[in-house]
Amino acid sequence: MRAFPSARLLFAAMWVGAQLALILTAARRPDGVFGFRMFPESSTVAVTLYRDVAGEGGVSLRMPVQDGTWTARDRSGAPKMVSWKDRVRRPELATFDTEMSASYGAAAQIMRWQAALEDVATHLDGDADTRRLALEITVRRNGHEPRVVRLESQERR
């Protein structure tokens, strides 16, 4: 008989311990990754994109963006087409003003949209006009009354 406990028992204990830890802490992660929470919600999101630009006297103006695409001037003053989809390719994070299923739950989608917003804002290399990007997300969780979540990127320099 081999020594007790053996490597097999140690591996099994570590595997089950790790799985349990991931399952029990899944609620702390907005998208519940590694938590096996199947069909956690029946929620929807509808997202509208805005950009803040300098208005008269330097006052910030918030303008809605249609279909994630806008025209901005670059540093030389030349107009340029800019698209959200240049950076964000996944359709569920690049579709605007349309109600969509929030797979993995509303919190997961809000977290992902926030991260996408920051990513796009930091990659607007040819856009000298936009000071900040913002999202307005209408969330309807499990058929409850809708609520609006507003997200903003860091201000661009």
Site residues (vs another protein, CB under 8 A): 1-2, 4-6, 8-9, 12, 15-16, 19-20, 23, 26-27, 31, 33-42, 44, 86-90, 93, 101, 112, 115-116, 119-120, 141-144
SS3 category, 7: helix
Judged by beta carbon, residue 40 or residue 52, the one nearer another protein is 40
The SS3 call for residue 89 is coil
Cβ 111 to another protein, closest distance in Å? 9
Give me the least distance between CB of 61 and another protein, in Å please.
26
CB of 56 to another protein, least distance (A): 33
Between 24 and 61, CB nearer to another protein: 24
- Tell me if 138 sits within 8 A of 148, measured CB to CB: yes
CB of 57 to another protein, least distance (A): 34
Give residue 39's region: left, alpha or beta (phi > 0; psi -120 to 50). left
Give the span between the Cα atoms of 65 and 59, in whole angstroms: 19
Cβ distance to another protein smaller for residue 119 or 155: 119
Q: Which amino acid is at 1?
A: M
CA-closest candidate to residue 68, choices 98, 39, 33, 95: 95
Nearer to another protein, 62 or 87 (CB): 87
Beta carbon nearer to another protein, 73 or 141:
141
CB of 51 to another protein, least distance (A): 17
Backbone angles phi, psi at 82, to 5 degrees: -125, 140
Long-range contacts of 16-20 (CB under 8 A, 24+ apart): none
